[in-house]
Amino acid sequence: MDTKTKATLTLDGKSYDLPVHAPTLGPNVLDIRKLYADAGVFTYDPGFTSTASCESTITFIDGDKGELLHRGYSIDELAEHSHFLEVCYLLLYGELPTAAQLSDFEGRVTRHTMVHEQMHYFFRGFRRDSHPMATLVGVVGAMSAFYHDSLDINDPWQREVAAIRMIAKLPTIAAMAFKYSAGQPFVYPKNSLDYAGNFLHMCFAIPAEDYVVNPILSKALDRIMMLHADHEQNASTSTVRLAGSSGANPFACIAAGIACLWGPAHGGANQACLEMLREIGTVDRIPEFIARAKNKDDPFRLMGFGHRVYKNFDPRAKVMKESADEVLGLLGIENNPTLQVAKEMERIALEDDYFVSKKLYPNVDFYSGIILDAMGFPTSMFTPIFALSRTVGWISQWKEMIADKDQKIGRPRQLYVGEKHRKYVDVRHR
C-alpha cells in the first residue's frame, strides 16, 4: 500500500488525520479504519458507491473510459488473442502461463471434470421444473459434503485443489442441471474436448445420437466465458468475500456468490434481457418500451442497460456485439429478429436524452443472450453459464483474501433509526 498524503477531517472542532493511499490505477483511497476508534463516528455508504472494501491486484475497471484490465491486460486484447483457460490461469496466478504451465493447468482442470457419482442421486431430489440456478446453488453448496479433503482454508494446497475442482466441475454441474430440467440423461464429460466444447457436449449430446461440437459455437462460447471471468468487487464477488471472511469453506462461499448472481440487477439480467427483447418483438414497439423505462411510476427498466461502474460503453458489450454479428452470420441467421430489435434499441437509447444524461450504455448482458439463444440454450441457462464463467473470478478473489494478512471478518455497522429504549409491556396490557 502506497501512502503518500493524508486528509484532515474536522468534526466538532477536533481534527483527525486520515491516511490517503495511492493505487497503481484509479482514484486515491481514504483510509477510515481508525475513524470510529478515534472520532466515535461511522461512515454511511449503502450500496458501497464510495467504498473500497479490500486491496486487490486482480482486475481494474475505469468506468469513465470504459476500460477493463485483468492483471494489467485489457479485455479487448484477451478476447482477441487468448482463451478461457489461459485467462483462468492469469486471474488465479497473476501471470500469463508459459506453454508448459498452460498445458499442466489444462491437464489438471480436465482431470477434475467428473463429479462424485453419488452427486447424481442428489440431483434427483429436485423437481424437474426447478430453475437451473436453484439447482446450481444447492449442488455447489453440497460440494462441501463430498470433497472433505479440500475444506481446510488454512492449507494452501487444499485451497488450490478446491479451486481446480470448482473450475472443472461447474460446467458439469450446470450441464447436469440443464439435462435434469429437460428430462434427459446426464452426459459425462469428454476430456478430449476443450473446456467450452465439453460443456456444449454435456448439454446437447444424447445417448441415441452422435454429437459433433460445432467449432464456431465452442469458440463463441469460450469468448462469452472469457468476457464474464472476473469483474472486480461486484455484488456476487463481494458476497463471496464476505462469506469467506468468516472462514467458511470455499464451496459454501461460491454457492453464496451464485445465489447473489441470480438477481435480475446482476447476472439474472441476461435472461431478463432476452425475454424483454422477445416481448418487444418488432422494431416499431421499441418507443413504447423506451417510454416505459423513462417513466418514474413504472418499475420497468431496460434490461442489459446501465452499470454501477461503467458510465461509458461496457468494453465487454462491444466485443459481445461483434461476436453476435459474427456467430449469427456464420450460422446463416443474421436476420434474427431479436438481434435487429437489440441493435435498433441500442441506437434509439443512445440518442435519447434520458439515457445520455444518465450515462446508460449497453452492458455485457445486452448481446450475450442472443448468442446463447442461437446456440440452442433456453433462457434459464443464461445465468448458470454466467455463474460457471465467473467461478474463476470468485475463486481468485477468495484466494487473494485468504492470503491477505490484513484480512478480518467483514462486519459493517449501521445508521440505526429505530425505536429508543422501551419498557416491555405484558400482552394483556397492549
Asked if residues 258 and 387 have their Cβ atoms less than 8 Å apart, the reply is yes
Hey, is 26 helix, strand or coil?
coil
Cα distance between residue 237 and residue 258, in whole Å:
9
Q: Which residues on neighbouring strands pair with residue 9, listed in sequence order?
A: 16
- Total number of residues binding ligand ACO (CB under 6 A)? 18
Cα distance between residue 280 and residue 275, in whole Å:
9
Hey, is 21 helix, strand or coil?
strand
Cα distance between residue 80 and residue 59, in whole Å:
18
| Residue 45 within binding range of ligand ACO, rule CB under 6 A | no
| Residue 223 within binding range of ligand ACO, rule CB under 6 A | no
| Residue 365 within binding range of ligand ACO, rule CB under 6 A | yes
Smaller CB separation from ligand ACO, 297 or 406: 297
| Residue 321 within binding range of ligand ACO, rule CB under 6 A | no
Smaller CB separation from ligand ACO, 171 or 306: 306
Cα distance between residue 367 and residue 166, in whole Å:
27
Strands (E), 351-396: none
Smaller CB separation from ligand ACO, 92 or 364: 364
Given the residues 230, 307, 314, 373, the one annotated as active site: 307
| Residue 349 within binding range of ligand ACO, rule CB under 6 A | no
Smaller CB separation from ligand ACO, 172 or 239: 239
> Which grid coordinates are listed for 359?
450515462
**In whole angstroms, how far apart are CA 163 and each of 123, 241, 394?**
22, 15, 10
Given the residues 222, 230, 314, 365, the one annotated as active site: 365
CB of 387 to ligand ACO, least distance (A): 11
Report the greatest alpha carbon distance in the chain.
80
Asked if residues 84 and 225 have their Cβ atoms less than 8 Å apart, the reply is yes
CB of 398 to ligand ACO, least distance (A): 19
Cα distance between residue 311 and residue 306, in whole Å:
8
Cα distance between residue 207 and residue 98, in whole Å:
38
Q: Is 429 a catalytic residue?
A: no
| Residue 269 within binding range of ligand ACO, rule CB under 6 A | yes
Smaller CB separation from ligand ACO, 119 or 254: 254
**Applying CB under 6 A, which part among 146-154, 203-211, 242-250, 360-368 lies near ligand ACO?**
360-368
Among 221, 345, 360, 388, binds ligand ACO (CB under 6 A): 360
> Nearest-CA neighbor of 320 among 389, 258, 264, 378?
389
CB of 20 to ligand ACO, least distance (A): 25
Q: Is 373 a catalytic residue?
A: no
- Residues written for the chain: 430
CB of 348 to ligand ACO, least distance (A): 13
Among 7, 265, 291, 356, binds ligand ACO (CB under 6 A): 265
| Residue 358 within binding range of ligand ACO, rule CB under 6 A | yes
Strands 59-62 vs 29-30: parallel, antiparallel or unpaired: unpaired
Binding to ligand ACO, residues 280-309 (CB under 6 A): 293, 301-308
CB of 372 to ligand ACO, least distance (A): 14
Interaction site with ligand ACO (CB under 6 A):
265-267, 269, 293, 301-308, 358, 360, 363-365
Annotated catalytic residues are 307, 365
